[in-house]
Structure 1
Amino acid sequence: MNAQPADRGRDVRGRVVRWRDQLIAYGWLVLIWILLWGDFSVGNLLGGLLVGGAVLVFFPLPPVTFGGRLRPGALLVFAVSFAGELVRASLHVAWIAVRPGFRPRGAIIAVRLRVRTDLNLALTAEVISLVPGTLIIEVDRDSGTLYVHVLDVRGPQDLTAGRDRILAVEQQLVRAVGSPAELRLVQPDPVPKGDRS
């Protein structure tokens, strides 16, 4: 019995979507490799292509579909904000390193993300890991919680600030590449017209 044309069309679309998702994952793996080395060179690019290909072949990733929308303006805002956070955190860690006799206190905080998709967890965890002074310890996929080690904690206000920074990163990422439903999850509740002062 031959497959119906609609079934064949669905199969072709399904294969195209899987290949597209694999190419997006491959691109992200190569980009992360280059960012981790901190230098864009032909050797690092080739190394990233080889390592990314090996990861996809030997450790196949679970299917992560991209149901969002790329928003160039929000992506630019995220890039500028992330660059500023990198500079700020780097200067802070450098200041800690050169202060004589100073012993910074660290803490591990749990941050439950509002958008619990695999893609959002992965992107947020990667961005947080690239910022000096923060390190992802564990990811609880079921509850969408990141456990993050933060450096130089002096009181409860620093823990709150750390959580707020991580949630701000999530919000910026969802604004840049999230779906409309995901965007509603990270937006602050709008104030009803009658409640405005």
Structure 2
Amino acid sequence: MTGDARTRRANRAVAVLGMALVWILLWGTFSWANLLGGLVVAGIVLLVFPLPPVVFAGRLRPVPLARFVAWFLRDLFVASVQIAWLAFRFGYTPHGAIIGVGLRVGTDLNLTLTAEALSLVPGSLIVEVDRAEGVLWIHVLDVRDRAEAERFRQDVLALESRIVAAVGSPDEVRRTTEGGVL
């Protein structure tokens, strides 16, 4: 068996186990029947809806991961306060913008992690993902001018850098740090 086939098989096994775990959590109790049912359902789902191969080429780095989590929690808090402030500003109409951000690491894993982190922060929402070009199209609340749009774009690139620093390969880390955004 070649390395690619072995990697694909390992990725499928992880996906099946992950879906079986979600199945058990949905039922709320562990039983052998729930485990077996989860494995069967996961197997059927993967046969009917095959997943694109998502290869984890990097490694988990604890210090950059802690840095990412700290920044994410900070962003979550600041954005929540900003959205609350907007909600209580009577008579003020916030302006939204849709901003395209081309990521430097266009892997499916990086696109997904960056998009999820952005969508979890109030005030930003992923509108579209262009997998071929590695571009995230993001709706941003309360953008008044081009300078704020550019600042948001730089914030997205900084977020990508933190994610790649935490889980990316050395080549991916190099690609995100060459631009100087961190």
Identity %: 46
How far is 1:122 from its partner? 1.1
* CA distance in structure 2 between the partners assigned to 1:137 and 1:27 by the alignment: 30
TM-score (norm 2): 0.79
After superposition, the C-alpha distances for 1:125-157 in whole angstroms (9 at most, x for unaligned) are 111111100011111111111110000011112
* CA distance in structure 1 between the partners assigned to 2:73 and 2:20 by the alignment: 20
1:99 counterpart residue number: 89
Q: How does 1:72-151 map to 2 (within 5 A)?
A: 72-151=62-141
Question: Residue 155 in 1 paired to residue 145 in 2?
Answer: yes
How far is 1:28 from its partner? 7.8
Structure 2 alignment gaps of length 5 or more: 30-34
* CA distance in structure 1 between the partners assigned to 2:61 and 2:157 by the alignment: 19
**3-state SS of 2:174 partner:** helix
Distance 1:160 1:78, change over 3 A: same
Distance 1:58 1:94, change over 3 A: farther
Distance 1:189 1:106, change over 3 A: closer
The CA RMSD measured in Å over matched residues stands at 2.9
After superposition, the C-alpha distances for 1:87-130 in whole angstroms (9 at most, x for unaligned) are 11111111111111111000000100001111111111111111
* CA distance in structure 2 between the partners assigned to 1:56 and 1:127 by the alignment: 25
Aligned AA for 1:106?
Answer: G
TM-score (norm 1): 0.73
Q: 1:62 is matched with which residue: 52, 56, 61?
A: 52
Q: Give the ranges of 4+ consecutive aligned residues of structure 1 lying more than 6 Å apart after TM superposition.
A: 26-31
Aligned AA for 2:102?
Answer: R
1:22 counterpart residue number: 12
Q: What number of residue pairs does the alignment pair up?
A: 168
* CA distance in structure 2 between the partners assigned to 1:29 and 1:85 by the alignment: 30
* CA distance in structure 1 between the partners assigned to 2:179 and 2:101 by the alignment: 20
1:36 counterpart residue number: none
Contact 1:75–1:177, Cα closer than 8 Å, also in 2 = yes
How far is 1:26 from its partner? 6.5
* CA distance in structure 1 between the partners assigned to 2:75 and 2:17 by the alignment: 24
